[in-house]
Amino acid sequence: MSARTYMVSLQSVEPIRRAIGSKDRALLDALLQAVAENYRSAAEGMIMGPSPAKEPGCWGPLVEPLAQHLGLSSRRLPLDDWKHHYVWNDYRSIVDPRLSGQGKALLEFMESGRPFVGSSIDHDGSLFAWLTAAEAKSLLDELTALDADELDELDEFHEELIESLQETVDRGADLFVGAC
């Protein structure tokens, strides 16, 4: 799978979470106006369907247009276009031994996904995750304490991750991670 990681800071993930299964026809109509034809079915399922236990990874690309419609001040972050499954696995193998249990769990979300309201992500070629502002701050604190020189070829990824977390924290925002 060659899914590429990208990050977005947004005011809050809570309105996105509330939109899932809301059956809000006006919200769906606005989302359908903003997404490509191949995401129409996913958008309908996200808004009009019941909240699934296993959320489709293809919901990830719907988050930015939904956040824009909801006025969540979404902003793309510096971390972008890394091969998701390669970079996160390698990065975590280096940094996990130096992190707390919470830091490890937050990176695990970013690698493997974190559903909005369900219990898991259906890895359908895409996936997504999110962190609250407090979780982003906690992870930033842990990662900035690491010696970047020990990251070898992943130092650029680490720098982009730190920049993305810092911008999110500075905005007092939540973090969304997508891979598609």
Per residue in 32-66, pLDDT (tens digit) is 999 999 999 999 999 999 999 999 999 999 999 99
- With contact defined as beta carbons under 8 Å apart, do 7 and 173 qualify? no
Element (H, E) at 113: none
- With contact defined as beta carbons under 8 Å apart, do 42 and 57 qualify? no
What is the per-residue pLDDT for 36? 93
What is the per-residue pLDDT for 151? 87
Q: What percent of the chain has pLDDT over 90?
A: 91
Among residues 178, 8, 180, which one has the least CA distance to residue 77?
8
d(CA 76, CA 16): 17
Domain with 85 in it: 4-179
What is the per-residue pLDDT for 85? 85
* Owner of token pair 């809570």: 14
Q: Residue 145: is it exposed, middle or buried by C-beta count within 10 angstroms (0-12/13-18/19+)?
A: exposed
pLDDT category at 88 given cuts 50, 70, 90 is: very high
pLDDT category at 180 given cuts 50, 70, 90 is: very high
Structural domain count, the chain = 1
**Segment among 6-10, 82-86, 132-136 with least mean pLDDT:** 82-86
What is the per-residue pLDDT for 12? 98
Section 23-37 average pLDDT: 96
Average confidence score pLDDT of the chain: 95
CATH number at residue 109: 3.40.1760
Burial per residue of 58-69, b for 16 or more beta-carbon CB atoms within 10 angstroms, e otherwise: bbbbbbbbbbeb
Section 76-82 average pLDDT: 93
d(CA 99, CA 60): 27
What is the per-residue pLDDT for 2? 75
pLDDT digits (tens, 9 = 90+) for 92-122: 999 999 999 999 999 999 999 999 999 999 9
Instruction: Measure the N-to-C terminal CA separation of the chain; round to a whole number of Å.
Output: 9
What is the per-residue pLDDT for 68? 97
